[in-house]
Amino acid sequence: MWIKKGKYLLLVSICLIMVLMLVSAVSGKPFRLMKLPDQGKNFRCGTCHINPQGGGPRNPFGQDWETIAMKAGDQYTPELGKLDSDGDTFTNDEEFAANTNPGDPNSKPEKPVTSTDQKTTSNATNTNPVDQKLKPDKPVISTNQKTTAISKPKPEPKAEITDEKSVTLPNSLDSSTSFSVHLGIYTYNFGKLLAIVGFILIFFQYILSSKIKFIEKGIGLDKLIRLHRMFGVVGLIFVLIHPAALYTGNLLQGYKGPLLTPLKAVGLIALVLLCMAAGAAILYKRLHIKYETWKNIHKVIYFVLPIAFFHSTRIGSDMNKPGFKILWWILLGLYLIILIYKVYMRFRIRSNPFSITKIVQETYDTWSLYFRGKKVHEYKPGQFMIIRLSRNGKVSESHPFTISSSPTRDELSISVKSVGDFTSTIRDTKTSDVAYIDKPYGVFSFLNHDTKNLVFIAGGIGITPFISMLRYIYDKRLERNVTLIWGNKTSKDVAFKDELEKMSTEMPSLKAIHVMSGQDDWQGEKGYVDAEKVKKYVTDLENSRFFVCGPPVMMSKVVKMLKGLGIPESRIHSERFALR
């Protein structure tokens, strides 16, 4: 339920952020283009901005617009028209009349023939209003006036963009070209929005996977990790579309700049690293990537955000806006705080090593390790810990394991089934080895819920959180009605058999039902845990809380089955003890 809410929250947040940023980023573009003398038919965002796509620093005309026009209600005023913003000896009115850029000194009308003692202005569209007999093909220069009227039209400058800071505007745009330009503006700004939202989602990767206790408390690290993956996939998609949208937007606007520049290359490096980390996380099963290899590849994610930060602040036009700049520096500061916290926790854990007191074989392929340390932090039965083993002078990567011991007992323990590269080496651990333990994590504990009727449904080694809870209930002599339904392949896979029999004998409120899926001569329940077996052994479905732990496929099927029996999601609890 919490993950579903998280998905909706993610979707709503992304939509809200993108709508707000889209309005902020592009609302000014068509609006102010319509305020220009030609109502945006011929002139683009480069009229006011150094960047021809708009946004970022304003050119001289854009600065005058901000000073004069915006104060007049975002209107092009006569005062602004009389100015020569770019200092090329032509007023802004004259430049608009000649379809040249009033903010670029390199873009200006061709100079008319004038006398040396007169001030001249260029007018490419009107004849002298004083002399109606003026011929259109000959310039007439008045000796007693400050203005020179030119009736002969000047050759119109060609539309070209020389570089990102110098724009020569086209004379005219037909309807299809105008549509293309405006579509390009929106496409370009949509690409910028994807980068902004993607950057924020990538930043949340560090928070969600940081294992900060006060964030994890009440939610569960497994749910945060699932959100971490979800945010990561969406962020990756946004960042991948980002350069394509920018390039398409540029083409639609007629801008053909270099495909790759040094600053763009920096962004490409961040994108490649992000794809490496995300690819390893998404495809590790298909590619059969070992946990240790995946862990090492995933560490490159710590380089992505600072590289992306440098790229965005140096090339992103929106970073010139105070709001974005403050937000970006806040995110960078939080990122550094998270890194410092992780370094501190690593040092703290390493400074408190646990000795291994004993290794117990529970079944033919399941082993329990027992630990003792100077500082054993409190935990609840059912929670899990993250452990590194130091064996033969080599410290392993961190691995999550459910705590199988009870807080009521002196020693800490985990019980591990040999199913992977690392778990298959547990049997080789020696009492002379050392463990570094980070705990506790998770919310999978009956102590978090006020109920007397507990139903534990386990699959295979998923019994470990339940043996911890049962030991706690047994030691504390708690009054709880507990029904344990435990599925295994054969009776040889049943761990803690003697201890469970003792608990069942001394605790009449405990019912332990074993279900075997691969043993034909089993005298008890066979097959898998299904609705029929649950209804058979759980007498009070309406007033019970259900806890499910086992292989992911089994958990998914059982949770779906319980919902089919009418059990509300609020009374079904499950937790996936994994970091990927």
Q: Once rounded to an integer, what is the mean pLDDT over residues 78-93?
A: 91
Cβ-proximal residues to 535 (8 Å cutoff; 6+ apart), any chain: 541, 565
Architecture of domain 350-441: Beta Barrel (2.40)
Residue 533 CA, chain-centre distance (Å), reads: 42
- Note the pLDDT of residue 136: 40
Report the mean per-residue pLDDT for the chain: 81
- 260-317 residue pLDDT tens: 888 889 999 999 999 998 888 888 878 888 877 888 888 888 999 999 999 988 887 6
Is residue 177 helix, strand or coil?
Answer: helix
- Note the pLDDT of residue 340: 94
Residue 579 — pLDDT band, cuts 50, 70, 90? Answer: low
- Note the pLDDT of residue 279: 86
Burial category of 228 from C-beta neighbours within 10 Å (exposed 0-12, middle 13-18, buried 19 and up): buried
The ranges of the chain annotated as CATH 1.20.120 are 176-347
> Which ranges constitute the DSSP H helices of 209-321?
213-216, 221-252, 262-283, 291-298, 301-315
Pick the CATH number of 176-347 from 3.40.50, 3.30.1460, 1.20.120, 2.30.170: 1.20.120
Element counts in the chain: helices (H) and strands (E) = 16, 15
The ranges of the chain annotated as CATH 2.40.30.10 are 350-441
Would you give the DSSP letter of residue 66? I
CB 237 within 8 A of CB 339: no
Calculate the alpha carbon distances from 102 to 87, 270, 431 in Å. 9, 38, 81
- 146-205 residue pLDDT tens: 433 333 344 444 333 333 333 344 434 455 556 777 787 788 888 888 888 888 888 988
Predicted confidence (pLDDT) at residue 402 exceeds the cutoff of 50: yes
The ranges of the chain annotated as CATH 3.40.50.80 are 447-574
- 489-509 residue pLDDT tens: 999 999 999 999 999 999 999
Lowest model confidence (mean pLDDT) among 170-174, 244-248, 450-454: 170-174
Question: What is the distance between the terminal CA atoms of the chain, rounded to a whole angstrom?
Answer: 20
d(CA 148, CA 130): 11
> Residue 418's closest CA among 340, 336, 496, 361?
361
- 304-330 residue pLDDT tens: 999 999 998 888 766 767 777 888 999
- 411-448 residue pLDDT tens: 999 999 998 888 999 999 999 999 999 988 889 999 99
Q: Which residues pair with 176 in a beta bridge?
A: none
Fold designation for 447-574? Rossmann fold (3.40.50)
d(CA 308, CA 228): 19
Convert 80-90 to b/e letters by CB count within 10 Å (16 or more is b): bbebbbbebeb
Q: Once rounded to an integer, what is the mean pLDDT over residues 34-49?
A: 77
